[in-house]
């Protein structure tokens, strides 16, 4: 009886340590929430003389990951906004001006990762993005009248990043991603987006 009691106490004492050691020993599985902020650049990927404009992108991300050995696969969902504006000259005709202001951005996709140490994982991602833009068009740069339109654009996103554990349940990320959108309301203007994002998250 005494030996059994001592065994129970030993297991009880070891359980919290095992629970803490599990994630630290390479587990990246489970749900996660994350706040994001970083560099945003939007520019015309068409034939016009594009001036890419930089701004701040910010928002949040949720997701869930599954792990098999060192391989990880999961799903992501994001809602972000930005302060970015872009301007393009000679977009439709010589002497015209076309400007775009970025708004909210919705994203859903998947990611595939590889655990390189108990604390670190690298990953690639791909998915669908829907971004809101406000566009302004002037036939000439000194024209008084301008056309203003707000629209939502569908596109795709590709990216790669690094996730690093701060504690068994908290982590930071660094990520580059490229997004491409179709023509903006019939204009021959394809919008490209480049972002460098940092995140702080919790896994549960």
pLDDT digits (tens, 9 = 90+) for 89-98: 776 677 787 7
For 10, 44, 63, 85, the CA distances from 134, given in Å and listed in that order, are 64, 14, 29, 9
What residue ranges define each of the domains in the chain, with the CATH number in brackets?
2-203 (2.40.160.20)
| pLDDT cut 70: percent of the chain above it | 75
Tokens of 135: 């566009």
Indicate if the pLDDT at residue 6 is higher than 50.
no
pLDDT on residue 100 = 77
Question: Within 10 A of 54 (CB to CB), how many other CB atoms are there?
Answer: 15
Residue with tokens 């569908």: 154
Burial class (CB in 10 A: 0-12, 13-18, 19+), 113: buried
Pairing status of strand 71-82 against strand 49-51:
unpaired
pLDDT on residue 5 = 35
Of 106, 118, 121, 123, whose CA–CA distance to 157 is shortest?
Answer: 106
Tokens of 22: 């599990």
The H or E element that residue 120 is part of is: strand 120-138
Of 97, 6, 105, 88, whose CA–CA distance to 48 is shortest?
Answer: 88
Return the sign of the alpha-carbon dihedral for residues 15, 21, 26, 29: positive
Q: What are the pLDDT digits (tens) for 129-160? A: 999 988 788 877 665 677 778 889 999 999 99
pTM for the complete prediction?
0.76
Q: For all residues of the chain together, what is the average pLDDT?
A: 82
Q: What are the pLDDT digits (tens) for 75-126? A: 999 999 999 987 777 766 777 877 778 999 999 999 999 999 999 999 999 9
pLDDT on residue 15 = 33
Q: What are the pLDDT digits (tens) for 170-185? A: 999 999 999 998 766 5
d(CA 132, CA 12): 54
d(CA 174, CA 197): 6
């Amino acid at each position: 009886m005494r030996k059994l009691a001592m065994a129970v106490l030993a297991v009880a004492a070891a359980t919290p340590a095992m629970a803490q050691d599990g994630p630290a020993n390479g587990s990246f599985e489970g749900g996660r929430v994350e706040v994001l902020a970083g560099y945003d650049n939007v520019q015309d990927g068409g034939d016009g003389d594009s001036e890419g404009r930089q701004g701040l992108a910010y928002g949040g991300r949720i997701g869930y990951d599954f792990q098999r050995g060192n391989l990880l696969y999961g799903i992501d969902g994001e809602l972000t906004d930005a302060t970015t504006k872009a301007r393009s000259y000679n977009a439709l005709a010589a002497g015209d001006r076309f400007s775009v202001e970025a708004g909210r951005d919705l994203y859903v996709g998947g990611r595939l990762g590889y655990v390189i140490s108990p604390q670190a994982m690298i990953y690639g991602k791909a998915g669908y993005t829907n971004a809101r833009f406000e566009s302004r068009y002037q036939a000439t740069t000194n024209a008084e009248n301008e056309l203003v339109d707000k629209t939502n654009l569908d596109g795709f996103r590709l990216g790669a990043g690094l996730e690093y554990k701060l504690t068994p349940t908290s982590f930071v990320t660094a990520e580059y991603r490229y997004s491409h959108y179709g023509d903006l309301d019939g204009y021959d203007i394809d919008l490209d987006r480049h972002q460098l994002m940092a995140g702080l998250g919790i896994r549960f």
